[in-house]
A and B are shown apart, each in its own frame.
Chain A
């Protein structure tokens, strides 16, 4: 079984013991687009609850977690092969950690690896502006801004693991971390 890791390798070793764990399954749930928003709302509510004493701090932390969760789950819903999406999330040492696992097909995997290789070699802020200009010129079907905004605007750290899991099936594990702004003026 071949495995490729892109991004920050250390994140792939992060422990998610004592984390929140959700599995979104095909079947009666009729897994679709709206589940990404619902699920990211739930994760943000659950994870930010402990910071509720400060309104400003809570809003910042809630939003960062919600944005990151929503973008990662949107990608999983959009690009997955039929099957489960497994989501783990926790807050440890002032850092929000999240892991999303789903399967994609081999062509999607190759395309995504190419995009990531280019993304990781450049400055995310500059690439974000370039990508926006390219989108405005081309009317392409996907904006490609999700990961770029996470890297450039939210300073998220990320890693992607690609493992062959069957014929034309690749198991993609995305791990992301976000430093929580634990200082507030309140």
Chain B
């Protein structure tokens, strides 16, 4: 499954969800299809689910809210290990992704 427009692309490959491009949708309603795609992976009884953000250049605050919401969903479902892969190449990731660890210390946040 894939969700895309001219600025971004989000897709699933196995238990990894890839986020690519520039994502600045208008709010929770606009982010709902992306939430459904990523939340489905968390609820499919996998041991490990990866959100790969290494291609995500920009995310607005509504999108940060989406990532936080998904992190809290993973926290509630302790049978799955959530891994978030990011990059220091895009400054927003170093600034905002560490907040996710505060929400869920068991989150495996990999910022390379």
Contact = CB atoms under 8 A, between A and B. Distances in A.
A132 B103 contact: yes
A101 B6 CA distance: 30
B103 A74 contact: no
Contacts of A139: 28
B92 A63 contact: yes
A136 B96 CA distance: 17
A146 B68 contact: no
A143 B91 contact: no
Q: Is the interface of A mostly helix, strand, loop or mixed?
A: helix
A148 B62 CA distance: 12
Given A71-B60, A141-B28, A135 B65 contact: yes
Contact of A143 (B62, B72, B90): B62
Interface residues of A, number: 31
Interface in A129-170: 129, 132-133, 135-136, 139-143, 145-146, 148-149, 152-154
Contact of B91 (A59, A129, A145, A146): A59
A149 B61 contact: yes
Residue picked from A60, A63, A143, A145, most chain B C-beta under 10 Å: A143
Nearest to A140: B28
Given A140-B28, A143-B65, A145-B65, A63 B99 contact: no
Contacts of B27: 78, 141-143
A60 B95 CA distance: 11
Given A37-B24, A136-B72, A139-B28, A129 B99 contact: yes
Q: Is the interface of B mostly helix, strand, loop or mixed?
A: helix
Interface in B44-74: 58, 60-62, 64-65, 68-69, 72-73
A179 to B, nearest CB: 13
A148 B102 CA distance: 15
Contacts of A140: 28
A25 to B, nearest CB: 20
B22 interface: yes
The 9 tightest CB contacts between A and B, nearest first, are A143-B65, A63-B91, A145-B61, A146-B61, A132-B68, A136-B72, A153-B95, A136-B69, A33-B26
Interface of B: 7, 22, 24, 26-29, 58, 60-62, 64-65, 68-69, 72-73, 89-92, 95-96, 99, 102-103
Given A71-B60, A149-B96, 9 more contacts: A59-B89, A67-B58, A70-B60, A141-B29, A143-B61, A145-B65, A146-B61, A149-B61, A149-B64
